[in-house]
Structure 1
């Protein structure tokens, strides 16, 4: 098996959806600090993304962190440094252009290591920013997530598949929203 492909059995895991927890930003900050200490100047940027980054939103209680290394693809020594922190490396995990790591413990964390400025970087941050700015869209997405879980999608892959259409629709709306924003931004979102 190549280092960038994994069996879905390695990736799938039981999930649950819970109400927003005010500890999520604190856990993100602790994880981000740990990542910065371990990788230092080899990280270009670290961002909290996903539903735990949207205040008030129900989510899987797993902190999602977007990591852009200076060197892309991720260097082997940086992968080993993440593994030394307790992260399990799972290759692309079905998403081309991403290196996926997860750590389960006192709180759970997923790392999506992607190229800075690439579509995965931009789209994930755009979706986060859109949900933060549009409470109605965030509430509808939370309903979709709860519906997926209540309907029996109790594992990561089933849950992700069930809510995939909602994510696609949100990303389309977010891109429309971005196009309506004043130009002049120099960040890659």
Structure 2
């Protein structure tokens, strides 16, 4: 998301609570992150049942050895995220707060401040889901790209951003380059709001 998009009045229609200043701090990789994912994944499967056609750990906390914000990112496959009545009340009852509403994408948050989780709901075959998994798997398997991404994040960390989307946008050139090496077409960028580029 570009600065122009962030300043656009229509942003209020996407970011449910509006832009929020955030201080970005990285932590060294913590082996408890996958355990936190597993606990949340089990909860999501119980809450959503067959409506959750996919539950995957994505973002930097899903990459062993990679420093990250201590926020566990999860993508859940929901056949029609725009049909909020079919799943959103159950997620809200489980403590998730809707933060982003975009066509075919909802982002929710829970666990603040101690064990934050971003939950991205997409149709299971959505291109963003494929990108999340491709990017995660590339970082897991390629030490050079993992180090490149961590270095880029360290340059951008330890400061406040007007909104998480500014931080995500600042990482975008490195993400695009890594995705291209992993086989994703360069002209298809990661465009989702708040956490579109996770980790």
Q: Shorter chain as normaliser: what TM range?
A: 0.7 to 0.9
User: SS at 2:88's partner residue?
Assistant: helix
Flag the 1:119–1:8 CA change in 2: closer, same or farther, 3 A. same
The C-alpha deviation readout for 1:50-88, integer Å capped at 9, x for no partner, is 010000001110000000024443441411111111111
The C-alpha deviation readout for 1:159-189, integer Å capped at 9, x for no partner, is 212212111111111116xxxxxxxxxxxxx
Name the residue aligned to 2:179: 171
Query: So what's the TM-score if we normalise by structure 2?
Result: 0.78
User: SS at 1:25's partner residue?
Assistant: helix
- Give the stretch that moved more between structures: 158-167 or 140-149: 158-167
Given candidates 97, 119, 130, the residue that maps to 1:122 is 130
CA distance in 1, matches of 2:16, 2:146: 32
**Aligned residues, how many?**
174
Query: So what's the TM-score if we normalise by structure 1?
Result: 0.82
Name the residue aligned to 2:50: 41
- The offset of 1:101, in angstroms, is 0.4
Which of structures 1 and 2 has the larger relative contact order (alpha carbons within 8 angstroms, sep 6+)? 2
- Give the stretch that moved more between structures: 125-134 or 10-19: 10-19
Q: What is the RMSD of the two structures over their aligned residues, measured on CA atoms?
A: 2.5
The aligned runs of 1:58-137 (5 Å cut-off) are 58-92=67-101, 97-103=104-110, 104-137=112-145
